[in-house]
Amino acid sequence: MDYAKLETVMRRLALEAGDKIMEIYNSDDFEVKTKSDASPVTEADEAADALISAGLRAAFPDVTLVTEEQATTHTETATTFLIVDPLDGTKEFVNRRGDFTVNIGWVEDGVPVRGVVYAPARDRMFYTLADGSAVEEFGPFDKDKVGEVKPIRVAEADNDALRIVASKSHRDQATDDYIAKYKAADMKSAGSSLKFCLVATGEADIYPRIGRTMEWDTAAGHAVVTGAGGKVLRFDNHEPLAYGKEDFANPFFIVTSPSVDLKPA
């Protein structure tokens, strides 16, 4: 993979998809449909997916592409592939809460190594550079010219005063029970893969996810966290979260700064 080309293409497509999403988000009304798994899908999901998929296939025609909105790609068996969630946090989008993202990731031998997470309603964009390090770029964003970029790094955690982030739409008792094992100084809620990015920037120390997710939900954020010095681990055994699983479904996981003293499941 040409990582410099990948960085440029992913960044541009994320911004283009973000523009399309915000055009629909700011309209008076938009259609919400229900998929077979009972999750919502909107015309924004579909429009962003069409744009990103076309762009990735044009730039990398020989690379396997897996995307949430195209069920025909869910039968792929590769361990090296591009993976897309064109609109992560559809519930946040539908309820006009702003915490939704465009996710484009590159998985190599089962490990997410490059990615971009763009939150168009929050004007925040995080991505990996060609060398694998993670940055946040600050707007206003120009598709053809990179603006102000700042390297990001996970925090050195204080285990007596941890900053924890958890899901906004999927918080449950099991999550609360696990969080209670830690000494927390601050609790945040956020939607979509923004939670990964809050750990990557050092705004939070740990994000436990006890609930169903798919690889397209997590790959891009996983790459950003890794590029910022963090870890994404299975909840049950604290082994690295792997990708290219048969059904692309994730086990429960923990996103963390390495300095956090992790508690057993």
Distance CA 121, CA 182 (A): 32
Mean per-residue pLDDT over the chain, rounded: 94
Question: Which residues carry a binding-site annotation for Mg(2+)?
Answer: 68, 85, 87-88, 217
Are residues 167 and 80 part of one domain? no
Q: Which domain holds residue 80?
A: 3-151
pLDDT reported for residue 32: 73
- CATH assignment at residue 13: 3.30.540.10
The pTM (predicted TM-score) of the whole model is 0.95
- The three-state (H, E, C) secondary structure of 213-228, written as one string: EEHHHHHHHHHHHHHC
Residue that wins the pLDDT comparison between 244 and 188? 244
Are residues 14 and 112 part of one domain? yes
Question: Which residues carry a binding-site annotation for substrate?
Answer: 68, 87-90, 217
- How confident is the model over 100-125, as a mean pLDDT? 98
Single out the residue in 125, 151, 177 at which a domain terminates.
151
User: Residues 6 or more apart from 176 whose CB is under 8 A from it?
Assistant: none
User: Domain total for the chain?
Assistant: 2
The answer to the question of residue 146 being in a domain is yes
- How confident is the model over 8-26, as a mean pLDDT? 96
Q: Within 13 Å, how many C-alpha atoms sit on residue 131's CB side?
A: 4
The 8-class DSSP code of residue 161 comes to S
Distance CA 21, CA 16 (A): 9
Q: Are 199 and 207 in contact (CB under 8 A)?
A: yes
The answer to the question of residue 265 being in a domain is no
- How confident is the model over 129-152, as a mean pLDDT? 97
Q: Which two tokens stand for residue 142?
A: 């120009």
Are residues 99 and 42 part of one domain? yes
Question: Which residues carry a binding-site annotation?
Answer: 68, 85, 87-90, 217
Report the alpha-carbon angle 84-135-204, nearest 5.
85
